[in-house]
Amino acid sequence: MRWPSTAKRLANADDTCRAPHQGILEKRRKPVQPRIGITCDLDLGTGTDSRAPGRPTHVLYDDYVQAVATAGGVPILLPTATRGDSVAPYMQVLHGLLIPGSPTDVDPACYGEEPHPRLGPVNPRRTSFELAIVRQARAQGLPIFGICGGAQVLNVALGGSLYQDIPSQVSKAYKHSGSPDPSHLVDLVPETRLAAILRVQETRVNSLHHQAIKVPGQEMVISASARDGVIEAVEISSQPFVIGVQWHPERLFADDEASRRLFSAFVQAAATYAPEG
């Protein structure tokens, strides 16, 4: 029996053995859609407006999910865990973290202050979980996006503080609560990441908050302010995406180009963090 030449045998081996592996390698090189963790609100079931009286319930507005998905991310809803150390398993699967707004305030004990008379209701279980997961995400270098109350959580997690009630603590402030539609202008700080993303010097935003950032956290810089002096956005400029905005871009996403750019930049940063598939 005559054996094929060495060159021919190698060519056959390439066809029969290498091709399938090559296909697998090509699949592995494809970038994966980044998995974006979004923390849920925890309705404790104790209020008169509770969704399920007597039964704690995790809830999240669909706007956040749709904005992340439309920008190319895979939204993963994160229920509030009961222990701070339980955030670690989440971090093993996430490529980005979004902290949404909240109907409750951050407990001022978290930033070393006594409660103000105009402080709203607090939710210690949700706040404790979000502070823990933000700190873990920051330690691992994950992109982080804080929206409204989420921006406040981000700031407190990094050592900053808040005005507990804008009307009573900020002189001549605008009415910052109760405006789901764009209601006032914010000025972007030049040469910040936020200004580079939005590509504008000013933008009109909605406003649904009665608290605001007072002292930015460690490494945080102010990247936007309202014309009454209230801080409207903070960031860590040295990171690809650690940004908190005081407004609600998820509610403006469908019709506002600046809001779409913000979510796209967040998801793109998470895609860079994610390994190739």
Contact 55, 46 (CB under 8 A): no
Between CA 277 and CA 64 the distance in angstroms is 25
Q: What is the pTM of this model?
A: 0.87
Q: List the CATH number of the domain containing 89.
A: 3.40.50.880
Active site residue 250: yes
Could you tell me how many residues make up the chain? Answer: 277
Per-residue pLDDT tens digits for 31-89: 679 999 999 999 888 877 778 888 889 999 999 999 999 999 999 999 987 665 688 89
Active site residue 248: yes
216: left (phi over 0), alpha (psi -120 to 50) or beta: beta
Q: Does residue 124 fall inside a structural domain?
A: yes
For 149, the enclosing helix (H) or strand (E) is helix 149-157
Q: Does residue 256 fall inside a structural domain?
A: yes
Q: Does residue 10 fall inside a structural domain?
A: no
Q: Does residue 19 fall inside a structural domain?
A: no
Catalytic entry in 148, 184, 232, 235: 148
Radius of gyration of the CA atoms of the chain, in A: 23
Residues of the chain with pLDDT under 50: 1, 6, 9-11, 13-14, 16, 19-21, 24-28
Contact 240, 274 (CB under 8 A): no
Active site residue 235: no
Q: How many domains does the chain have?
A: 1
Q: Give the residue from 143, 166, 158, 169 showing the smallest Cα distance to 274.
A: 143
In 166-277, alpha helices (H): 166-169, 193-198, 249-252, 257-273
